[in-house]
Structure 1
Amino acid sequence: MSKTAHKGYTLQFTLSLLVIVSILLTAIVSGYSALHANKQSLSTSYLENNYDYAKKLSLNTTELIESMQRNLHAMSEMASSQPFTQRALDLWFEANQYFNSIVIVDTRQNIKAISPANTGISPGARLNSQQSLKAIELKKPLISEPYKAKSERMIVLISSPIFAKDGTYSGFVGGTIYLEENNALSSLLKEHFFGNGSYVFVVDQGKRLIFHPKKERINDLVTTNTIINQVVMGKSGYQEVVNSENNSFFAGYSYEPLSGWGIISQTPTSVLDRPLKKLTDRLLIQALPLLSLILLIVWWFARRISKPLFTLARFSEEAILHRAAIPAQLPVIRSKFYEVTQLYQSINAHINLLSAEIQLDGLTGLANRKSFDLVIDEWQDKRIPFSLIFLDIDHFKKVNDTFGHVTGDEVLKYAASTIRSVSREEDLCFRYGGEEFGILVKHGDTGLATDMAEQLRKKIASGTNPTGSVITISLGVSSSESALSNKQLIEQADQALYQSKSEGRNRTSVHGFSTVR
């Protein structure tokens, strides 16, 4: 049984519950921290590995493009001295498996030779793409943007210009990469080293996909992926990203400078689910025996701690109720559990005995601000009519500056004594703060409070105070009858006091009326 009749929960039960909850929360926080740290470590590892892989592919792609360009340049050098026969072109194509097709084009975009023969285009046909025209106009090596060719294929054209021995431009040698078919580029990019749903894709400067495991996505425009925006600006790095299909990935990206392509290697973040689940299971299995042992120890200690506190609670109860001397030996009770509640009640009783002292102002012996707040709230709640007098010692700073703070304290005591002398037994005299005092006039209307205020003002002014010179006060009066709340009542008295100050001091003002003096 965890609580005694009509008393509340036992200390043993509360301590056990508190420690159990603390242990469980600690275990949860520790487990979460371990999982979070492990997740961060794995995430960083995947991000860095994808970045390294993207960099490696970028370097390999650069080497592949350079090899392609050297191959085409060698062909253009040969074509500048003698025309390529179809047989020679076929042999060259078979020996260098870089491209899906090789084509030799003159300055009018007419095909002079093409290999292999099954491309769907024959020698003599004319190319009409902007990319082939651009290659002729530039008369320089070119890596084109992806475009749809005459054969309806999506291709990238890599070209090398042909110049005759006299320097006359006579066309170009072009190698084509069919983006939707197997080629040297796709062979390089298609296999990801993780093999766990990871894959590589490539975008060009226009943010179009030129390589993707899903062939149907080639030539798609992707503008919402943040890393694509980074890589097309020539940047390299890694970050966690949500792609255009709303899937989360660990992505590394690298810029390939020759083509201006961006190579992105990414791994789905779901790869962490399995290792994190295994780690969670392992933590639970390892923690349960230790947790059980700790709980057993905590229960034993809670029992040991609660017994003497229970005895103390009984003792304090006896001391308060019977005011008896402390017994030589405290009784031991094992079957009743109300330690915490009784101990609290006993301590609370002692606190109540001391409360009267702590509610007084230490210097003047009047009620302090806390007592004022309690009494005014009580009277308002009980609908007791009353008035409030606020008063302030005029030029009190000058008293302190002239006579010193010790004399200033004596002046405050003198004011407090005079306030007591004019008040009634049922009234509350209080120090509001600093040199500000007040009187709560119980069952007193504005007239009674004003008379009391005037009597106090005159008595202060005519009395002999510690400074030996004249001390005056300014007063403000308000009544609960004209105020909707205690806050408003205090504000009204404060406004009346301010009126007395502003009209020359040493006078009493009533809220809503002219100054009395």
Structure 2
Amino acid sequence: MKYLIQKGFTLRFTISLLVIIAILLTMLTSITSAVQVNRATLIGNYLQNNEQYAKKLASNTNELLVTMQQNINAIAKISGRSQEMDAQLFDDLFQENTQYFNSIVVADADRIVRALSPHTIGIEVGDQLTSAQSKMAVSLKAPFISNPYRATTGRYIILISAPIVDASGAYQGFVGGTIYLEDKNVLSTMLKEHFFGNGSYVYVVEKNGAIIFHPDKQRIGKSVISNPVVKNVLMKKSGSQRVTNSEGGQFFAGYAYEPSSSWGIISQTPTSVIDKPLHDLIKRVLLASLPFLLLILILGWWVASRIAKPLNTLAQFSDQATLGSARPQNVPDIKSAYYEVRLLSQSVKIAFQHLNQDLTQLRNEAGVDELTGLANRRTLDTVLQQWTEYHVPFAVILIDIDHFKGVNDTYGHVLGDQVLKHLAQLMRNVSLEGDLCFRYGGEEFGILVQRSGPREAGVVAERLRKEMERTVNPIGVPVTISAGVAAYPEHGRSPRDLILKADEALYRSKTGGRNRVTLSGEAEVKQVRSGR
């Protein structure tokens, strides 16, 4: 069997790698700085733009509401000149205001409808209005803009009203213009141009935090008072900030307060909008740096080759000497200006003489199972031979994982290996200093319990069985073990006899239903008793 030497990095590769790392670190520093500066600039721009945009929309909304209130006031004055409103005249007035209102209603002091347009809104002349907002219009006897409410027609609306007074100044009722928030309305007409392909949008909240305009109509009427931006704007503030909205989305938001209606206007852009510009920036920097990187790499490789050539010659010789089938007889004569290389060449000549002897010794010292870290079969045989020759009292516990083939078939060999490691750790936990935990092969394990009789070893095995049964293992479902116990010298005086006796006891545990411990020549161990 050949002694395998794990190859490391060559000097030429290391120098080239150092050059590449230096360039990459320089590039990374430059890219990081550029990205941070551009990120801060983009964030600042979006916050500022959204704030200015919200202020502009708040101003436009104010102008719109003033115009709507003036138009309702004008209709109220016309209505106050006569006892009865001419139906044709009222329809003409509505037609002149269709860009502002979805419907207009005239009601008297008892809230009885005297005129309306259009005539398909769900109420008729002679009906009495029962909403709290209509009662408020009669009670205030002054112009006002209502909070959103659900009308008797089922529509979610805002009412803009003005009082009707006759020539003598007596109150006659009110004129109310409505905005249907869930239908096409004056707000959506004004704001619909402000939806952008990058995910930016505008929404409007009334003074209690309910949405009265949103591009997603299903959100109209929902309260978003918990949103920090909404809280700020309803405190009559204007500004901008990065925010996580009520649905978990992250935005750069600008907001402005509209005083005439106490509404808040919020314009926001998703934070992901800055990702593409930053990615494009990184690509441009990388493409610009690539030629420079290749040039430095070629130069570094050439310099590294000149420096590393004599060392590479020695390394190839060492590789051939340890791994080759036909081993070289002499160390190559290395001529180099470097003192370290000449000294190394002499050291290699001396080391070569002792190489085979040292490799043989190292091979013999390998006695550990690679997967579990426990002792392997070679170590087990050695220790068994020594303990029986020196008549050391001990017991052998042979352990087998129940239905382990099913574990591998169901969960795969990777998790199966994790179960083996799990058992190995539990074995270490229950054993004492001087005991030997070993892997016998496959899913079979064992413990040599030093200076112990069969009963004490049975206690150890039972403790291990219970730990395996109740602890959480890598596959998440219970995995059990079966065990057999034999002791020296009670059950055998040679390693072979002890292993056979322990294996027979293990076989009885298996045939007896598994998940149990059996002593050689005795019944199953029922419970753990105080012991070691």
- TM category (shorter chain) comes to 0.5 to 0.7
| Cα deviation code 1:402-425 (max 9, x no counterpart) | xxxxxxxxxxxxxxxxxxxxxxxx
Deviation at 1:337, TM superposition (A): 8.8
Aligned to 2:252: 250
Aligned to 1:37: 37
Aligned to 2:223: 221
Q: 1:334 to 1:131 in 2, by over 3 A?
A: farther
Aligned to 2:82: 82
User: 1: CA distance between counterparts of 2:20 and 2:339?
Assistant: 20
| Cα deviation code 1:335-382 (max 9, x no counterpart) | 87957x99xxxxxxxxxxxxxxxxxxxxxxxxxxxxxxxxxxxxxxxx
SS class of match (1:282): helix
Quick check: 1:66 aligned with 2:66?
Answer: yes
TM-score normalised per structure 1: 0.56
Q: 1:337 to 1:204 in 2, by over 3 A?
A: farther
Deviation at 1:295, TM superposition (A): 3.3
The answer to whether the Cα contact below 8 Å between 1:142 and 1:160 also exists between their aligned partners in 2 is: yes
The answer to whether the Cα contact below 8 Å between 1:76 and 1:162 also exists between their aligned partners in 2 is: yes
Aligned to 1:93: 94
The answer to whether the Cα contact below 8 Å between 1:10 and 1:337 also exists between their aligned partners in 2 is: no
Picking from 236, 239, 244, the partner of 2:238 is 236
Q: 1:14 to 1:109 in 2, by over 3 A?
A: same
SS class of match (1:195): coil
The answer to whether the Cα contact below 8 Å between 1:50 and 1:251 also exists between their aligned partners in 2 is: yes
SS class of match (2:193): coil
Q: Which amino acid aligns with 2:293?
A: L
Deviation at 1:41, TM superposition (A): 2.1
Aligned to 2:388: none
SS class of match (1:117): coil
User: 2: CA distance between counterparts of 1:131 and 1:193?
Assistant: 32
The answer to whether the Cα contact below 8 Å between 2:101 and 2:178 also exists between their aligned partners in 1 is: yes
Q: Which amino acid aligns with 1:23?
A: I
The answer to whether the Cα contact below 8 Å between 1:9 and 1:338 also exists between their aligned partners in 2 is: no
Residues 26-175 of structure 1 mapped to structure 2, 5 A cutoff:
26-83=26-83, 84-97=85-98, 98-175=100-177
The answer to whether the Cα contact below 8 Å between 1:10 and 1:338 also exists between their aligned partners in 2 is: no
User: 1: CA distance between counterparts of 2:102 and 2:162?
Assistant: 16
Q: Which amino acid aligns with 1:283?
A: V
| Cα deviation code 1:65-123 (max 9, x no counterpart) | 00001101111112222242221111001012210001111111111111110101111
- The share of aligned pairs that are identical, in percent, is 51
Residues 100-499 of structure 1 mapped to structure 2, 5 A cutoff:
100-192=102-194, 194-298=196-300, 334=336, 338=340
User: 1: CA distance between counterparts of 2:137 and 2:253?
Assistant: 35
SS class of match (1:103): strand
Q: 1:13 to 1:125 in 2, by over 3 A?
A: same
User: 2: CA distance between counterparts of 1:134 and 1:156?
Assistant: 13
The answer to whether the Cα contact below 8 Å between 2:156 and 2:180 also exists between their aligned partners in 1 is: yes
SS class of match (2:76): helix
Q: Which amino acid aligns with 1:291?
A: L
User: 2: CA distance between counterparts of 1:270 and 1:164?
Assistant: 59
Aligned to 1:356: none
SS class of match (2:35): helix
Q: 1:210 to 1:338 in 2, by over 3 A?
A: farther
Deviation at 1:195, TM superposition (A): 3.2
SS class of match (1:28): helix
User: 1: CA distance between counterparts of 2:53 and 2:125?
Assistant: 41
User: 1: CA distance between counterparts of 2:303 and 2:55?
Assistant: 60
The answer to whether the Cα contact below 8 Å between 1:192 and 1:199 also exists between their aligned partners in 2 is: yes
Deviation at 1:246, TM superposition (A): 0.9
SS class of match (1:294): helix
Size of the aligned set, in residue pairs, is: 319
Deviation at 1:251, TM superposition (A): 1.4
The answer to whether the Cα contact below 8 Å between 1:106 and 1:171 also exists between their aligned partners in 2 is: yes
The answer to whether the Cα contact below 8 Å between 1:191 and 1:199 also exists between their aligned partners in 2 is: no
User: 1: CA distance between counterparts of 2:46 and 2:340?
Assistant: 58
User: 1: CA distance between counterparts of 2:207 and 2:200?
Assistant: 23
The answer to whether the Cα contact below 8 Å between 2:19 and 2:296 also exists between their aligned partners in 1 is: no
RMSD, aligned CA: 3.4
User: 2: CA distance between counterparts of 1:337 and 1:149?
Assistant: 98
Deviation at 1:241, TM superposition (A): 1.4
User: 2: CA distance between counterparts of 1:69 and 1:338?
Assistant: 95
Aligned to 2:524: none
TM-score normalised per structure 2: 0.55
Of 265-274 and 202-211, deviating more is 265-274
Aligned to 1:415: none
Stretches of structure 1 that go unaligned for 5 or more consecutive residues are 308-331, 343-517
Deviation at 1:244, TM superposition (A): 1.2
SS class of match (1:252): strand
User: 2: CA distance between counterparts of 1:248 and 1:294?
Assistant: 43
User: 2: CA distance between counterparts of 1:138 and 1:300?
Assistant: 92
Of 53-62 and 190-199, deviating more is 190-199
SS class of match (1:258): coil
Stretches of structure 2 that go unaligned for 5 or more consecutive residues are 310-333, 345-532
User: 2: CA distance between counterparts of 1:249 and 1:288?
Assistant: 35
Q: Which amino acid aligns with 1:252?
A: G
Deviation at 1:274, TM superposition (A): 2.7
Q: Which amino acid aligns with 2:184?
A: N
Deviation at 1:303, TM superposition (A): 7.8
User: 1: CA distance between counterparts of 2:33 and 2:93?
Assistant: 61
SS class of match (1:118): coil
Deviation at 1:271, TM superposition (A): 2.3
* Structure number with larger C-alpha Rg: 1
Deviation at 1:18, TM superposition (A): 3.7
| Cα deviation code 1:431-453 (max 9, x no counterpart) | xxxxxxxxxxxxxxxxxxxxxxx
